[in-house]
Amino acid sequence: MSEILVPGPDHPITIDPTDGHVVVRAGGVVIAESDRALTLAEAGYPPVQYVPQDDVDAGALRPTDTSTHCPYKGDASYWTVSTGQGDLVDAVWGYPHPHEAVAPIAGHVAFAHDGVEVTVGG
């Protein structure tokens, strides 16, 4: 069984509703828009926008065989984004069955920073 760690003072994780409209572009094309995104802030890492999967253009994503494990969040699945300039392999990830401490991110996905532009507007 994989290790499960609980966020705390040494490794804080917060999840809050994003204050603003989130737009995600890949190759200049909008692939997601949401007013229901969540901002996950973890320890010293930059905050990450988690967008409900229902707000993502499913036709732009292809599942991959890649998976990773985070002891704080769980097992992540990945998708490739197809753009006019080519594929962005494993540019999208999500935790289909996240650990209890981060349960709100279930059904949401996040986007890699290389080749994907995530903007948050007011």
Span 30-72, pLDDT tens digits: 999 999 999 999 999 999 999 999 999 999 999 999 999 999 9
Provide Rg for the chain, Cα atoms.
14
**Paired strand residues for 62:** 80
Residue 38: which of 99, 90, 102, 91 has the closest Cα? 102
Q: Is the pTM of this model over 0.75?
A: yes
In a domain, 3, yes or no: no
In a domain, 6, yes or no: no
DSSP state of 104: G
Beta carbons within 10 angstroms of residue 33's beta carbon: 15
In this prediction, residue 53 carries a pLDDT of: 97
In a domain, 1, yes or no: no
In a domain, 109, yes or no: yes
**Residue 1, pLDDT above cutoff 70:** no
Q: How many residues does the chain have?
A: 122
What is the CATH classification number for the domain harbouring 30?
A: 2.170.150.40
